[in-house]
């Protein structure tokens, strides 16, 4: 066993180094898109906090999901968050698996570029929707009598820009239609469905997405309409984006693999040769 570990350790480090070299090259090319995606996540959080200033608590609306699913109660609100964190964390780890795995179907930078486009498109629609109509929040801290249901007008711009972190993120109200947790969940699950290779994980991911949706309703964090709208909106958005973006080709295992995305003609043959050389180095390191 010690001999096996000693032999495998150098291979692992060579694999990590070669993959890091490839990813660094892709990041140098796509950094603007990655930065824009991260910036939009902040803007989405800023908008969700901003609508809290407009929130007015009131009687909980009649909801079919509330009649069907018994309330979990405030003390069990963590259950839905636990499922979400599991989905979120598992997806993030999967996107970085090319650094340590022999099986390389994706590139980390390229998959996150695509994910950021999915998220930005879906969240843009979400921002428009929850600013158009503010519903009385069904969550316990958003109901009448709660001190967190309404927040006073901001004293300065800095208070708004900092989103009153972390309370402004944890105890938000008013950003209902449609569910942000469901956006992330469906984007991650559909992305793995498209680019993942384990069929049983795909089935499990969809099952967890359904369970997550039911738990959100049972926790009274969203109305059922927020979940239903998220399910068909995100799927339609991703279908549309996929029809417009160039397909991300699979990484082949042979030395003659092709670039992962159609390369810009502006860079000419030199850019193609650079990508080919980096990808070939990755294969050689894996075979050593």
Vertex 226 angle, CA 118 and 134, to 5°: 105
Stretch (H or E) spanning 179: none
Instruction: State how far the Cα of 134 lies from the Cα of 177, in Å rounded to an integer.
Output: 9
CB atoms within 10 A of CB 211: 14
210 has a pLDDT exceeding 70: yes
Of 267, 265, 260, which Cα lies nearest the Cα of 282? 260
Say which DSSP state 180 is in.
Answer: H
Active site residue 6: no
Share of the chain above pLDDT 70, in %: 81
pLDDT in tens, 146-160: 888 888 888 888 877
Of residues 117 and 147, more confidently modeled: 117
- Give the HSE-up count for residue 97: Cα atoms under 13 Å, Cβ half-sphere: 18
Instruction: State how far the Cα of 164 lies from the Cα of 66, in Å rounded to an integer.
Output: 30
Q: Which of 226, 242, 267, 286 is labelled catalytic?
A: 226
CB atoms within 10 A of CB 247: 10
- Tell me what pLDDT residue 154 has: 83
Active site residue 167: no
The average pLDDT across 169-197 equals 92
Of residues 156 and 280, more confidently modeled: 156
Share of the chain above pLDDT 90, in %: 56
- Tell me what pLDDT residue 86 has: 96
Answer whether 16's CB lies under 8 Å from 101's CB: no
pLDDT band at 284; cut points 50, 70, 90: very low
pLDDT in tens, 33-80: 999 999 999 999 999 999 999 999 989 999 999 999 999 988 888 899
The average pLDDT across 225-242 equals 96
The three-state secondary structure class of 8 is helix
- Tell me what pLDDT residue 262 has: 39
Q: Which of 102, 181, 275, 286 is labelled catalytic?
A: 181
- Tell me what pLDDT residue 279 has: 54
- Give the HSE-up count for residue 237: Cα atoms under 13 Å, Cβ half-sphere: 25
Active site residue 226: yes
């Amino acid at each position: 066993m010690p001999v096996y570990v000693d032999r495998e350790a150098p291979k692992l480090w060579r694999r990590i180094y070669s993959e890091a070299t490839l990813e660094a090259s892709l990041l140098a090319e796509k950094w603007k898109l990655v930065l824009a995606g991260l910036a939009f996540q902040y803007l989405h959080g800023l908008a969700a906090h901003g609508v809290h200033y407009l929130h007015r608590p009131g009687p909980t609306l009649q909801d079919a999901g509330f009649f069907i699913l018994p309330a979990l109660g405030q003390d069990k609100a963590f259950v839905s968050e636990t499922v979400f964190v599991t989905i979120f964390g598992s997806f993030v780890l999967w996107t970085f698996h090319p650094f340590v795995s022999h099986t390389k179907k994706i590139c980390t930078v390229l998959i996150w570029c695509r994910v950021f486009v999915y998220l930005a498109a879906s969240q843009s629609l979400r921002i428009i929707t929850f600013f158009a109509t503010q519903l009385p929040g069904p969550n316990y801290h958003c109901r009448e009598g709660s001190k967190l249901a309404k927040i006073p007008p901001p004293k300065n711009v800095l208070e708004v820009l900092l989103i009153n972190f972390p309370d402004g993120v944890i105890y938000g109200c008013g950003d209902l239609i449609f569910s942000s947790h469901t956006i992330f969940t469906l984007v991650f699950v559909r992305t793995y469905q498209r680019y993942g290779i384990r069929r049983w994980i795909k089935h499990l991911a969809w099952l967890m997405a359904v369970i997550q949706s039911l738990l959100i309703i049972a926790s009274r964090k969203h109305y059922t309409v927020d979940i239903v709208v998220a399910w068909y909106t995100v799927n339609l958005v991703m279908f549309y984006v996929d029809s417009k973006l160039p397909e991300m080709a699979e990484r082949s295992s042979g030395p003659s693999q092709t670039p992962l995305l159609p390369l810009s003609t502006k860079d000419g043959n030199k850019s193609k040769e650079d990508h080919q050389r980096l990808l070939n180095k990755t294969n050689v390191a894996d075979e050593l």
